[in-house]
Amino acid sequence: MDINLSINGNSHAVQVQEDMPLLWAIRDIVGLTGTKFGCGVSQCGACSVLVDGRLTKSCSVSVLDAVEKEIFTIEGNSENLEFLRQAWTDGNVPQCGYCQSGQLIAATSLLDSIEKPTDKDIDNAMSANICRCGTYTRIKKAIHTAVQLKNQTL
Amino acid sequence: MSSIQKIDRRDFVKLFGLASGGIILGCSVASDSKGFIPIESKKGFHPNLFVHLEENGNVTLIASRSEMGQGIRTSLASAIADELEADWQYVSVVQAIGHEKYGNQNTDGSRSVRTRLEPMRKMGATAKIMLITAAAKKWNVAEVACKAENHFVINKNTNEQIFFGDLVADAAKVAIPKEETVQLKKVEDFKFIGKTLKSVDLKDFTHGTATYGIDVRIPNMKFAAIARSPVTFGSVKSFTKNNAEKVAGVEAIFEMPRLIPPTGKFFGMLGGVAVIANNTWAAFQGKLDLDIEWEKGANENFDSEEFKKILTKRVQKTGKLVPGVRGNVNTAFDTAAKTIEATYHVPFLAHAPMEVPNATAWFQGDKIEVWAPVQDPQTARSELAHFFEVPIENITINVPFLGGGFGRKSKSDFVVEAVAISKKIKAPVQVVWTREDDIQHSFYHATSAQYLKGSIDKEGNLSGWLQRVGFPSIVSSFKPLSDYASGFELNQGFTNNPYAIKNFRLESVKAEANLRIGWMRSVVHIHSAFGINSFVDELAFAAQKDPLQFHLDLLGEDRIIEGKSKFPFNSKRFKNVLTTTAKMANWGEKLPEGHGLGIAIHYSFYSYVATVVEVSVIERKVKIENIWTTIDCGLALNKDNITNQLEGAAIFGMSLALFGKISTKEGAIEQNNFFDYEMTRMKDAPKIHIHIVDAMHEPPTGVGEPGVPVIAPAICNAIFNATGERVRSLPLMDLGMV
Ligand code: FES
Ligand code: FES
């Protein structure tokens, strides 16, 4: 069927099967490959996106659920994501990098809802995302750094 | 070793499709690979490392290693930049394609930095001399009156300076200086080597713009998923397309035969039923809708629980003697004050890299082009030439980013699948494995059983050591009926046991392979380190000694053992990492109630590692609180990258200790996805403290793997310290301790 997806502020007219998960519509139909496939069953967070600001595992929602909503992916830009990117860079966080799109989106969602998260907040928010390379220590630190960077700038 | 040549620009354009001017240097480095996977012999001069200087000042390294998270590209570039006196912001890296011209690209065995460092430095130094020569000519001064600094050549007398880029055209005409005249910097003068450098790929990693294998898009490409036999090496008896054909987007469904590799090399492919579609999801859905009856074959009754029992029984009885006996263990046991024995187990494990196996291939009759996240593009290339009878020079393998490898992606079965499908459908195709495929059709880390017996003499010293091991051999994947561990496997921790034990005997028992066996990050060291470190801890307890002191005593006097390699074993360096780690962890201080410390040391890939783990145990549930690791890996090329690797190794080791288990029933793998093959997550991640020994005058040794083997035994020793409960069989989850 023909639908419209709004991703990072751009509208995409696409043709999809109605039961297709949002992940594959983003990757294979729209062609934005920054959002990753890791498990397909809501276990790893590699496919994380924001749908109308809500953290969503795109492998596990139908593309139809995202119609007429605003989808935000790692290719997008937001204030919090920018600070997080800077902190990820300062902390040299990624190893293979594959999980980091999902990690950054999950962290963006965290900062969107909690201005100054504690370690505990971070553990809760980020434990749905697996990093097989094991960069957790750095991710945690980078989230704190992003908050600091933000406070310095504002 | 290496010699450096200027590369004809036309050749270079041909090789890389780059068409800009400037200086291109290439050198050829011999690989120290002793792996048993043959790589075509190279005749004559085939440069395999390149550096390209352009008139805009850009310096590009053509990297011959797959990037899979070890930061190799960054590390190697830093070596060139250092000797060249470059400004880091002009430095970048591009990935070479899989072609024998670019040398052995296999990224295994923590070997990259070890073999590439010096040639890289020499290339940088060579280019610097050429730039200086060009500048000296311009100023009409002697070369010694010039120096290079931060991307400029400076006239020491006048302080005039010229930008590197502006010298490139003239420098390109300068003859390559003789190798003997190229002087390398002193360790003290390093600007980049041994310092903290940011990965050259950070921008792409944080914007979702890095192209991994699974992100490759070719015009008109199809997507494919394959249903493979649940029992290893089973085959399709019959199948009906069922509803698969009706899934929107599915375009073709067909059977694929198994491709059996010739003895001694390659990986072949499992075969099954392929579903071709115009998007990944449709292919996955179509696969689920197939109705397949499998011919289960020889492995249909394989039960990993049964196999564990069989191996356990075998290691209790005399096995095949492994050369290297010292003294006589029986005499030691007979005269001992105390003897103890124990049997240890590690289950099968799967790598589960975050990016599933996948490959994009385009078979075009007389040529093949592949885009795939492979750790060893050259073996993949030889393998394709073998199976598809295309001349090897017509096969190109492009290596995009790897979303983790851990050894899984050096087995190119998924590449063979993609080419086989492309050949059949006459179009480019991307084969994508589901996570279930990845967990159920891996080349597994072998399960193992080990029996150890040791004796303590009247003085409380270890007097005898008997170890019997049984695990299916990696060789079985290349040579069926290889039922005993091979020499190279035993040499990963068993035969090269570092302790000064007078009476020592090692035996190996039969262990058949009923799954595909492969190597996984740190390979056999995972079980050797687990058995040895757990047992040393048990011995220390039996001898009523502190485990730290007991390890130190066992390492004995300062000794240097010259092996066949360039890296002699030095017990002093081993003792140093041990005491350093113990100090970091405040070893010996009183701990809170329910907490315990455990220690483990291991020597692998020529690096020395010691780890202390702190656990807390409440109602038999284990929490990992702290991990301290020290590594001595010789010259530390990029410290922050090494730290990152070791932090990751701690998490990897934790995952396998807590959750790692692949099991089979009636030949089929029981695990499916991350919900039953679990990984350490953020909430369980401990505080990790890494220390890198300053050993800048020693040659660089492995960093990607050596941090893994110590973790599981250190955790289990800490549990014993906290509770008195001894864990001899992994994972902890099976014991209800997670
Ligand atoms: S791919 Fe969606 S959670 Fe793993
Ligand atoms: S950086 Fe590799 S999986 Fe997270």
Q: What is the pLDDT of residue B122?
A: 87
Whether the per-residue pLDDT at B114 is higher than 80: the answer is no
CB B664 within 8 A of CB B639: no
Q: Which CATH code, of 1.10.600.10, 1.10.645.10, 1.10.760.10, 1.10.150.120, is assigned to A79-153?
A: 1.10.150.120
- So where are chain B's domains? 2-207, 213-297+357-432, 304-350+444-735
What is the per-residue pLDDT for B15?
53
Contact B214 A33 (CB under 8 A): yes
Report ipTM for this prediction: 0.98
User: What secondary structure letter does DSSP report for B143?
Assistant: G
The pLDDT tens digits for B345-370 are: 999 999 999 999 999 999 999 999 99
Q: Which residues 88-107 of A have a C-beta within 8 angstroms of B?
A: 88-89, 92, 94-101, 104
pLDDT grade for B228, boundaries at 50, 70 and 90 = very high
For A17, the closest chain B residue by CA position comes to B248
Q: What digits encode the pLDDT tens for the residues B276-334?
A: 999 999 999 999 999 999 999 999 999 999 999 999 999 999 999 999 999 999 999 99
* Ligand minimally distant from the alpha carbon of residue A96: 2
For the entire predicted model, the pTM comes to 0.90
Q: Would you state the pLDDT for residue B34?
A: 28
Tell me the average pLDDT across B107-127: 71
Partner residue facing A132 (CB), from B282, B352, B647:
B352
Flag whether pLDDT at B3 surpasses 70: no
Nearby residues of B574 by Cβ (< 8 Å), 6 or more positions away: B498, B555, B601, B603, B608, B610, B632
Pocket of ligand 2 (CB under 6 A): A 94-100, 131-133, 135; B 69, 354, 404
pLDDT of residue B196 exceeding 90, the answer is no
Q: How far is CA B101 from CA A30, B41, B44, B64, B380, in A?
A: 37, 11, 11, 10, 15
d(CA B18, CA B2): 24
More confident residue, B41 or B654: B654
Which of A47, A49, A62, A131 most suits a substitution to test ligand 1, by most atoms within 8 Å of the C-beta?
A47
CA distance A136 to chain B (A): 6
Q: Is residue B50 helix, strand or coil?
A: strand
Architecture of domain B304-350+444-735: 2-Layer Sandwich (3.30)
The pLDDT assigned to B399 comes to 84
Question: What DSSP string runs through B538-591?
Answer: HHHHHTT--HHHHHHHHH-S--EE--SSSS-EEHHHHHHHHHHHHHHTTTTS--
Question: Which of A44, A51, A99 is the pocket-test mutation for ligand 1 (most atoms within 8 Å of CB)?
Answer: A44
The more confident residue out of B94 and B404 is B404
From A1's Cα to the closest Cα of chain B, the distance in A is 11
Query: Average pLDDT in the B151-158 region?
Result: 95
What average pLDDT score do residues B249-255 get?
97
Tell me the per-residue pLDDT of B467-478, one tens digit each, with 9 for 90 and over.
999 999 999 999
Average pLDDT over residues B188-211: 86
pLDDT of residue B19 exceeding 50: no
Q: Which residue has a Cα nearest atom 3 of ligand 1?
A: A42
Q: Does B397 contact chain A (CB < 8 Å)?
A: no
CA B81 to chain centroid:
26
Distance (angstroms) between ligand 2 centre and the Cα of B205 equals: 10
pLDDT of B267 reads 94
Residue B716 has what pLDDT?
A: 98
Rounded CA gap, B311 and B304, in Å?
10
Nearest to B102 by CA among B131, B65, B70: B65
**Given this model, what pLDDT does residue B47 score?**
58
Searching chain A, which residue's CA lies closest to the CA of residue B650?
A: A134
Amino acid B41: pLDDT: 29
| Beta-carbon separation of A97 and B641 below 8 A | no
Domain boundaries, chain A: 2-72, 79-153
Measuring CA to CA, which residue among B69, B68, B73, B66 is closest to residue B51? B73
Q: State the burial class of residue B323 (Cβ atoms within 10 Å of its Cβ: 0-12, 13-18, 19+).
A: exposed
Ligand 1 atom at minimum distance from A42 CA = 3
pLDDT band of residue B419 (cuts 50, 70, 90) is very high
Compute the average pLDDT of residues A62-71: 96
A127, A130, A138: residue with CB nearest B674: A130
Q: Chain A partners of B650 at a C-beta cutoff of 8 Å? A: 134
Of the partner residues B401, B404, B640, the one whose CB lies closest to the CB of residue A132: B404
Assigned architecture for domain B213-297+357-432: 2-Layer Sandwich (3.30)
pLDDT number for residue B118:
79
Q: Give chain A's mean pLDDT.
A: 97
Select from B381, B377, B383 the least CA-distant residue to B395: B381
Task: Identify the CA nearest to A43 among candidates A28, A26, A60.
Answer: A60
Spatial neighbors of A148 by CB under 8 A, at least 6 apart, are none
Cβ atoms within 10 Å, residue A123: 17
- Strands B291-295 and B368-371 come out as unpaired
Fold classified for B2-207: Aldehyde Oxidoreductase; domain 4 (3.30.365)
**Mean model confidence pLDDT for chain B:** 90
Question: B354, B402, B644, B645: which to mutate for ligand 2, most atoms within 8 A of CB?
Answer: B354
Give the closest-approach CA distance of A105 to chain B in angstroms. Answer: 10
Looking at per-residue pLDDT, the higher value among B675 and B9 belongs to B675
A57 in contact with ligand 1, CB cutoff 6 A: yes
Helix orientation angle between B571-584 and B547-555, rounded to the nearest 10 degrees: 170
Q: Matching CATH topology for B2-207 and B213-297+357-432?
A: yes
The CATH class given to the A2-72 domain equals: alpha beta
**Closest-CA residue to A73 (of A127, A131, A34):** A34
Check residue B69 and give its pLDDT: 54
**Residue in B closest to A27 by C-alpha:** B215
Residue B92 has what pLDDT?
Answer: 82
Report how far ligand 1's centroid is from the alpha carbon of B249 (Å): 22
Number of A:B CB contacts under 8 A?
A: 180
